[in-house]
Chain A
Amino acid sequence: MNAATQMFPLTLPVWRSRIVLLLLLLAFGVLTGRAVYLQGLNNNFLQQKGESRYSRVIEISATRGMITDRNHEPLAISTPVESVWASPADIEIKPAQMKRLAQLLEIDAGEIEKRLVDTNREFVYLKRHLPPEQAAKVVELNIPGVFLQREYRRYYPGSEYTAHLIGFTDIDDKGQEALELAFDAQLAGKPGSRRVIKDRLGHIVEDVESIRTPQQGRDLTLSIDAKLQYLAYRELKNAVAANRAKAGGIVVLDAKTGEVLAMANLPSYNPNNRAKLEPKRTRNRAVTDLFEPGSTLKPFTAAAAIEAGLFKPDTLIQTAPGRLTIGDRTIHDAHPQGALTVAQVIQKSSNIGAAKMALALPSEKLWSIFNRVGFGTPPLSGFPGEVSGRLRAYHSWRPIEQATMSYGHGISLSLLQLARAYLVFADNGEIKPVTLVKLDTPAASTRVISPETALQVRKMLELAVQPGGTAPRAQVMGYRVAGKTGTAHKFEGSSYAADKYVSSFIGFAPASDPRLVVAVMIDEPGAGRYYGGTVAAPVFSNVMAGALRQLGIKPDAPLNNVVLPPPNTPEIREEV
Chain B
Amino acid sequence: MARLNLILLAILVACALSVVTSQHKARKLYVELQKEQELARQIEIEWGQLQLEQSTWAMHARIEKIASGQLMMHTPPPSRVQVIAPEQKQ
Binding site for B on A (CB under 8 A): 63, 66, 73-74, 77-80, 155, 157-158, 161, 199, 203-207, 226-227, 230-231, 234, 477-478, 554-555, 559-560
Is A205 within 8 A of B56, CB to CB?
no
The number of inter-chain residue pairs (CB within 8 angstroms) is 52
Name the one of B26, B60, B83 contacting A559, with C-beta atoms under 8 angstroms.
B83
Alpha-carbon distance between A321 and B81 when the two chains are bound, in angstroms: 48
Known contacts A155-B52, A560-B78; 19 further A-B pairs (Cβ under 8 A):
A74-B51, A74-B55, A77-B48, A78-B48, A79-B45, A79-B48, A79-B49, A79-B52, A80-B45, A157-B52, A157-B55, A158-B59, A199-B27, A203-B34, A206-B27, A230-B61, A231-B60, A234-B61, A559-B83
A203 to chain B: which residues have CB within 8 Å? 31, 34
Alpha-carbon distance between A77 and B46 when the two chains are bound, in angstroms: 12
Alpha-carbon distance between A518 and B43 when the two chains are bound, in angstroms: 42
Q: In angstroms, how far is the closest chain A Cβ from the Cβ of B8?
A: 28
- 16 of the cross-chain contacts (CB-CB < 8 Å) are A63-B48, A77-B48, A78-B48, A79-B45, A79-B49, A79-B52, A155-B52, A157-B55, A199-B27, A205-B30, A206-B27, A206-B30, A230-B61, A478-B81, A559-B83, A560-B78
Alpha-carbon distance between A555 and B86 when the two chains are bound, in angstroms: 11
* CB-based nearest B residue for A73: B55
Name the one of B48, B59, B83 contacting A555, with C-beta atoms under 8 angstroms.
B83
- Given A78-B48, A80-B45, A477-B78, decide whether A230 and B60 contact each other with a Cβ distance below 8 A: yes
Is B45 within 8 A of A205, CB to CB?
no
* CB-based nearest B residue for A559: B78
Name the one of B30, B45, B59, B85 contacting A157, with C-beta atoms under 8 angstroms.
B59
A227 to chain B: which residues have CB within 8 Å? 60
Max chain B C-beta neighbours (<10 A), residue from A74, A204, A477, A555: A204
Contact with A along B41-75 (1 / 0, CB 8 A): 00001001101100110011100000000000000
Alpha-carbon distance between A227 and B58 when the two chains are bound, in angstroms: 11
- Given A478-B83, A555-B83, decide whether A205 and B27 contact each other with a Cβ distance below 8 A: yes
Q: Which 5 A-B pairs have the closest CB atoms?
A: A157-B55, A230-B60, A205-B27, A203-B31, A204-B34
Q: In angstroms, how far is the closest chain A Cβ from the Cβ of B81?
A: 6
Dominant secondary structure at the A interface = mixed
B45 to chain A: which residues have CB within 8 Å? 79-80
Alpha-carbon distance between A78 and B51 when the two chains are bound, in angstroms: 11
B26 to chain A: which residues have CB within 8 Å? 206
Q: In angstroms, how far is the closest chain A Cβ from the Cβ of B13?
A: 25
* CB-based nearest A residue for B42: A80
Alpha-carbon distance between A230 and B55 when the two chains are bound, in angstroms: 13
Q: In angstroms, how far is the closest chain B Cβ from the Cβ of A570?
A: 27
* Interface bracket on B: 10 to 19
Is A207 within 8 A of B52, CB to CB?
no
B31 to chain A: which residues have CB within 8 Å? 203-205
* CB-based nearest B residue for A557: B83
Alpha-carbon distance between A558 and B30 when the two chains are bound, in angstroms: 69
* CB-based nearest A residue for B63: A230
Q: In angstroms, how far is the closest chain A Cβ from the Cβ of B57?
A: 10
B85 to chain A: which residues have CB within 8 Å? 554
Q: In angstroms, how far is the closest chain A Cβ from the Cβ of B86?
A: 8
A559 to chain B: which residues have CB within 8 Å? 78, 81, 83
Q: In angstroms, how far is the closest chain A Cβ from the Cβ of B42?
A: 10
Alpha-carbon distance between A231 and B61 when the two chains are bound, in angstroms: 9
A157 to chain B: which residues have CB within 8 Å? 52, 55-56, 59
Is A77 within 8 A of B60, CB to CB?
no
A560 to chain B: which residues have CB within 8 Å? 78
Q: In angstroms, how far is the closest chain B Cβ from the Cβ of A542?
A: 11
Is B27 within 8 A of A207, CB to CB?
no
Alpha-carbon distance between A515 and B87 when the two chains are bound, in angstroms: 22
* CB-based nearest A residue for B49: A79
A161 to chain B: which residues have CB within 8 Å? 60-61
Contact with A along B22-35 (1 / 0, CB 8 A): 00001100110010
Alpha-carbon distance between A234 and B85 when the two chains are bound, in angstroms: 31
B61 to chain A: which residues have CB within 8 Å? 161, 230, 234
Is B30 within 8 A of A204, CB to CB?
yes
Alpha-carbon distance between A89 and B52 when the two chains are bound, in angstroms: 39
* CB-based nearest A residue for B27: A205
A230 to chain B: which residues have CB within 8 Å? 60-61
Max chain B C-beta neighbours (<10 A), residue from A74, A78, A157, A161: A157
Alpha-carbon distance between A80 and B47 when the two chains are bound, in angstroms: 12
Is A77 within 8 A of B51, CB to CB?
yes
Q: In angstroms, how far is the closest chain B Cβ from the Cβ of A381?
A: 24
Alpha-carbon distance between A560 and B78 when the two chains are bound, in angstroms: 8
Q: In angstroms, how far is the closest chain B Cβ from the Cβ of A227?
A: 7
B55 to chain A: which residues have CB within 8 Å? 73-74, 77, 157
Alpha-carbon distance between A205 and B56 when the two chains are bound, in angstroms: 41
Name the one of A63, A74, A206 contacting B52, with C-beta atoms under 8 angstroms.
A74
A554 to chain B: which residues have CB within 8 Å? 85
Q: In angstroms, how far is the closest chain B Cβ from the Cβ of A104?
A: 21
Alpha-carbon distance between A554 and B34 when the two chains are bound, in angstroms: 55
Is A77 within 8 A of B52, CB to CB?
yes
